[in-house]
Every structure is written in structure tokens, then in C-alpha cells.
Amino acid sequence: MATVANSQYWENRYQEGKTGWDLGQAAPPFVGLLDSPTAPTTGKIAVLGAGSGYDALLFAQRGFEVIGFDFAPSAIASASKLAQSRGIAAQFLQRNIFDLSAEFPHYFDYVLEHTCFCAIEMRDRSSYVKLVKSLLKPQGELIALFWAHNLPGGPPFGTTTAEICQYFESDFETNNLVLAKNSVPQRQAQEYLGRFIAKN
Ligand SMILES: C[S@@+](CC[C@H](N)C(=O)[O-])C[C@H]1O[C@@H](n2cnc3c(N)ncnc32)[C@H](O)[C@@H]1O
């Protein structure tokens, strides 16, 4: 049976159009961040579980060197097509994110995450934290929009801010996790923007 740890599960969702997480636009809190005085400076950024690519393309448009990763072929195809149609330079690679450490060791200035942490099996969360750290340069930054929901039925696994900090604090400074200001209406008061610097 296809489970969330398996690309077929997600591929089926894309093929059946059951993509309730997909905003059809970049997440407004990322737009707000890039427009703010504390916007990150440009650099190399990995987008994990990039889906249809809207967030990746936003960062690419703002001058970041972007590689989006997803293991669902349809997601990669949609994101690549969107980049091409908009004339935006961004790369999208079909990969299982848990295989990336060897290919991109300490390669990125940033990792971007949006509804990826809540989409992986809970037993894989510690490995996910290690993965993010392994992709970042020393003092690199995770920019994350965590969907800290408690909705029955997903997507797929709820979380809390306490839990997020508990997982990430071994490898990251987690003091910068705040309620996102301009979430889409259906996610108001459920999204937290985190900017976590990797510890040495
Ligand atoms: C809930 S969706 C979020 C997609 C996108 N970030 C967004 O907000 O629209 C989770 C995405 O992560 C991808 N994904 C989940 N586990 C993955 C893994 N181990 N490797 C690569 N991609 C994964 C899925 O295929 C899916 O596109």
C-alpha cells in the first residue's frame, strides 16, 4: 500500500487532483518576509517537498539560486513547466529528500520548507532535522512555514510549536519562530514562520 513515505502516495494525489495543500500561489508569509527589512540576502536555496513550485519560483524571482526537490514526478513536471512558462531560472529535481545529504553536502545557504515537516512520517522527523542540517553550510538558515494544525485527516500529520522546537533545537537556534502574519484565510493562526540558524 502507498504510504506518505512513498512517492506513489503523493504521485497518486497529484494525478487525482487531491492536492488540498496547494495554494496555487507562493505562501503570502514568504512574500511578506522577502518584502521586509529583515529579508534574507540572496544565496543558494534548497526547497524540500517543493510541490508545484510556487514558493521556489518566488525565491528565484527575488534572485536566489533555487533547486526544488520532490519525489512525485507530477510535481516536478508541473513546477518545471511553470518555471519555463514564466521564464524563471530555477531547477527542479526528482529526488527523495532523504537521499540528498550525499549529493549536496553543506551546499546551500538556505533550506526552504513549507508543509513538508507535517507531510513526513513522525518517525522520520529526527532524520529530517539531520537532513536539513547536512544540506546547509555552517551557520546556514532554515526558512520554514510550519503548518501547526490539529485537523483530523491531515495533511497528514499535525504538530505544535513546542514539538517543532523540541525536534530542531539540537541542531538549530530555534528562538525565531513566530505566528505568521498574513496567512491565507484557511490557515490563519495555524502557520508559524521559523528562521532557524544551524548550530556549529
Ligand atoms: C503537503 S505537500 C507540500 C507541497 C508544497 N511545499 C506546497 O506547500 O504546496 C508535501 C510535498 O512533499 C513531497 N514529499 C513528501 N515526502 C518526500 C520525500 N521523502 N522526498 C521528496 N519529496 C517528498 C510530496 O511529494 C509533496 O509534493
Residue 105, classed as helix, strand or coil, is coil
Residue nearest to atom 4 of ligand 1 (CA): 51
Distance CA 197, CA 139 (A): 6
More confident residue, 186 or 144: 144
Query: Which of the four pLDDT bands, split at 50, 70 and 90, describes residue 30?
Result: very high
Is the pTM value of this prediction over 0.85? Answer: yes
Average pLDDT over residues 83-98: 98
User: What does the pLDDT read at residue 14?
Assistant: 96
According to CATH, the topology of domain 7-198 is: Rossmann fold (3.40.50)
Query: What would the pLDDT profile of 31-48 be if each residue is shown by its tens digit?
Result: 999 999 999 999 999 999
What value does the mean pLDDT of the chain take?
94
User: What does the pLDDT read at residue 154?
Assistant: 63
Which residues have CB under 8 Å from 181's CB, separation 6+? 29, 32
Distance CA 110, CA 45 (A): 5
Q: Where are the domains of the chain?
A: 7-198
Our mutation pick for probing the ligand 1 site, out of 11, 30, 31, 116, counting the most ligand atoms within 8 A of Cβ, is 116
Query: What would the pLDDT profile of 153-168 be if each residue is shown by its tens digit?
Result: 666 788 899 999 999 9
